[in-house]
């Protein structure tokens, strides 16, 4: 019985001591750097201030790495996230005012905000306006809140609009952005089996025939203004696929003359199609 009473007294003493002790820190990566921050605030720019600043950054770097770890498995490497968090830590150290409270309370939202900005501004495969990104976040949160109860079905656009205070058009834009964070490879298969095809197979291509139509229309007026004999020669050469020798035989002129007429007619039509003034035709 005496042993039990002694043990009980020790437990009571330990509880009392724990109650009077200061509260433990939430994390073991929050060092006591109040004196360093006070010293930093008193120093002017120079090597000594830089040394104190570096010491503070090094002391709080584990906390920055812990915050970066919250965002793992979101498409960005942990090392890159740690670098972004370290940048946020440096900004927090530079902007912190020791008279306003504990550094941790200021640094955590600063670092977290820096990492979130990194995802917002750098991680989209396509550049999306900030307003659309905000709509995406509001729609994502609304969908999660509306489906968190067991048995809840997928909310409609109207329900999410009522829940968020957005218009249905804004909800639609946010829902489209939900699927736009990353892009799909053009080599990604859209079907399986022997009939499989890739996304690239579904994309249209420029039709070269459009260029032919444009060229024809551009040359049409120039062809109309050619002398009849030159139009006949061009028709026989390019539409009936006759040789220059056969054309010369049919028209009773030399093959050399046919060659000159073809070259000159084509040059004139080309110049007029390109908007240049054409030379006069040879009446021969």
User: pLDDT truncated to tens, each residue of the chain (284 aa)?
Assistant: 334 434 443 444 444 434 444 444 455 667 889 899 989 988 888 999 999 999 999 999 999 999 999 988 776 788 999 999 999 999 999 999 988 889 999 999 999 999 988 877 666 656 667 788 788 888 888 888 888 877 778 889 999 999 899 999 999 888 887 766 666 677 777 665 556 677 777 777 777 777 788 888 888 888 888 999 999 999 999 889 999 999 999 999 999 999 999 999 999 988 888 875 444 444 44
pLDDT digits (tens, 9 = 90+) for 129-178: 778 878 888 888 888 888 887 777 888 999 999 989 999 999 988 888 77
Q: Which of 98, 122, 146 is the last residue of a domain?
A: 122
Q: State the chain's mean pLDDT as an integer.
A: 80
**pTM, 2 dp:** 0.44
Residues 69 and 115 in one domain: yes
Tell me, yes or no, whether 3 lies in a domain.
Answer: no
Question: How many domains, the chain?
Answer: 3
The parent domain of residue 249 ranges over 209-273
Same domain as 246, residue 217: yes
Measured CA to CA, the distance from residue 253 to residue 236 in angstroms comes to 14
């Amino acid at each position: 019985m005496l042993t039990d009473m002694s043990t009980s007294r020790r437990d009571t003493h330990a509880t009392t001591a724990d109650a009077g002790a200061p509260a433990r820190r939430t994390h073991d990566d929050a060092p006591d750097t109040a004196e360093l921050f006070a010293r930093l605030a008193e120093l002017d720019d120079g090597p000594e201030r830089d040394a104190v600043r570096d010491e503070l950054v090094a002391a709080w770097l584990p906390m920055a790495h812990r915050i970066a770890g919250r965002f793992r498995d979101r498409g960005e490497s942990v090392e890159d996230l740690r670098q972004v968090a370290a940048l946020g830590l440096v900004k927090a150290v530079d902007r912190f005012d020791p008279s306003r409270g504990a550094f941790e309370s200021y640094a955590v939202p600063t670092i977290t905000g820096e990492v979130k900005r990194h995802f917002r501004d750098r991680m989209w495969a396509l550049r999306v306006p900030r307003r659309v990104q905000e709509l995406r976040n509001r729609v994502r949160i609304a969908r999660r809140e509306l489906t968190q109860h067991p048995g809840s079905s997928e909310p409609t656009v109207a329900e999410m609009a009522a829940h968020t205070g957005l218009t249905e058009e804004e909800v639609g834009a946010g829902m489209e952005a939900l699927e736009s964070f990353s892009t799909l490879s053009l080599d990604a298969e859209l079907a399986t089996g022997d009939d499989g095809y890739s996304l690239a197979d579904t994309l249209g291509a420029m039709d070269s025939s459009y260029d032919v139509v444009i060229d024809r229309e551009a040359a049409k007026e120039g062809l109309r203004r050619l002398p009849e004999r030159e139009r006949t020669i061009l028709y026989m050469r390019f539409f009936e696929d006759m040789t220059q020798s056969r054309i010369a035989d049919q028209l009773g002129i030399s093959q050399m003359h046919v060659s000159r007429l073809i070259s000159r007619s084509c040059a004139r039509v080309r110049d007029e199609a390109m908007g240049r003034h054409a030379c006069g035709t040879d009446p021969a």
